[in-house]
Amino acid sequence: MAARHLHPGSRRRKQALQLGALAALLLGLPGCQSIEVTSTNVAEIRVIEASPDPNVPGLDFYLNNTALAYNVGYSTISSYIPVVPGAYTVTADGDKTTTPLVSATATLTNGNSYSAIVGNQLANLSETILQDQTQPAPSGEISVRFVDQASKVGAVDVYLIPTGSTLITTLPFLTDVTFTENTGYLNIPANTYTIAIVPTGTVPLATTLTLYTGSQVTYAGGAVRTVILVDQQITTVPGLQVIVAKDVN
């Protein structure tokens, strides 16, 4: 995701140099990382490509006319990028084009972190800018929020199944989560959990087929996560995938 391509004659690509070597270095780091904002005159933003549509090209992201990241592909989460606080438009162009596909506006304020999430199918591509939690969860707990970008499966119930338990023996963590919903951050005890998702109102049985069941993941106390629900890329029956962003480790 480092800045690699220059579009001849593109004023916006030339203005990418405004971020300088710092942005290039940050974008070269693996995804799902965070840097700590310590200055009172710095905000930070990351971009997340959550559209499962295979027809969506790699995306070039701009903050106003300044480049943030190039050729961002599906399920990619950039590192946080420091920026000067202010009012901005975050635009996503098709890679190697100057044609905006989607944009959103937000005011990025001192000391805060943000995620620009592009989701939905190409014909209805959408962008949402969310403020992220920057403080660790309380001692012995984790903070997690769910963002529903799945347009095909309808309302869902979300289960966080602790280690040693099953879907049948676990109460739903969230019910009736709908498309475009942001649940906000919720605190739960640190533990090893499996995320399972079923249509809203499902009474789990031994034969229940979930829309999504993840692997067991151990979350240390203080961790903060954003879980993005998206439609499966290739399927004949509606199903789900999830993209998990590490807000705080």
pTM for the predicted model, two decimal places: 0.82
Domain for residue 75, yes or no?
yes
Residue 33 has a pLDDT of 36
Among 77, 111, 132, where does a domain finish? 132
Amino acid letter, residue 161: I
Q: What is the DSSP letter of 178?
A: -
Domain for residue 23, yes or no?
yes
Assess contact for 23 and 81: CB atoms under 8 A: yes
The strands making up 100-108's β-sheet, listed across from edge to edge, are: 66-72, 59-63, 86-94, 100-108
What span, in angstroms and rounded, lies between the C-alpha atoms of 37 and 84? 12
What span, in angstroms and rounded, lies between the C-alpha atoms of 118 and 134? 21
Residue 49 has a pLDDT of 97
Same domain, 128 and 204: no
Same domain, 117 and 162: no
Residue 18 backbone phi and psi in degrees, to 5: -65, -30
Same domain, 147 and 190: yes
Same domain, 59 and 89: yes
Q: Return the CATH number at 164.
A: 2.60.40
Residue 82 pairs in a beta bridge with 44
Assess contact for 240 and 232: CB atoms under 8 A: yes
Same domain, 75 and 110: yes
Residues 79-100 have a mean pLDDT of: 94
Per-residue confidence at 5, pLDDT binned at 50, 70, 90?
very low
Q: Domain total for the chain?
A: 2
Assess contact for 66 and 11: CB atoms under 8 A: no
Domain for residue 1, yes or no?
no
Among 132, 157, 184, where does a domain finish? 132
Same domain, 124 and 22: yes
Domain for residue 153, yes or no?
yes
Smallest CA-to-CA distance from 243 within 150, 121, 113, 125 is with 150
User: Cα 63 vs. chain centroid, distance in angstroms?
Assistant: 17
Q: 123 Cβ partners below 8 Å, 6+ apart?
A: none
Please, what is the end-to-end C-alpha distance for the chain in angstroms?
22
- Tell me the two tokens of residue 176: 């009736």
- Tell me the two tokens of residue 238: 């509606």
Q: Which residue has better confidence, 76 or 39?
A: 76
Q: Return the CATH number at 51.
A: 2.60.40.1120
Same domain, 64 and 165: no
Does residue 4 carry a pLDDT above 80? Answer: no
User: Cα 75 vs. chain centroid, distance in angstroms?
Assistant: 8
pLDDT tens per residue across span 162-201: 999 999 999 999 999 999 999 999 999 999 999 999 999 9
Same domain, 31 and 61: yes
Same domain, 114 and 202: no
Residue 22 has a pLDDT of 37
Same domain, 167 and 224: yes
Same domain, 125 and 150: no
Domain for residue 158, yes or no?
yes
Domain for residue 2, yes or no?
no
What span, in angstroms and rounded, lies between the C-alpha atoms of 23 and 146? 28
Among 101, 132, 163, where does a domain finish? 132
Domain for residue 19, yes or no?
yes
Same domain, 89 and 169: no
pLDDT tens per residue across span 117-166: 999 999 999 999 999 999 999 999 999 999 999 999 999 999 999 999 99
What span, in angstroms and rounded, lies between the C-alpha atoms of 168 and 165? 8
Domain for residue 3, yes or no?
no
- Tell me the two tokens of residue 228: 């993005």
Assess contact for 191 and 221: CB atoms under 8 A: no
Structural domain of residue 33, as residue ranges?
11-132
Task: State the alpha helices, DSSP H only, in 9-82.
Answer: 11-14, 20-27
Does residue 16 carry a pLDDT above 80? Answer: no
pLDDT tens per residue across span 24-47: 333 333 333 343 444 568 999 999
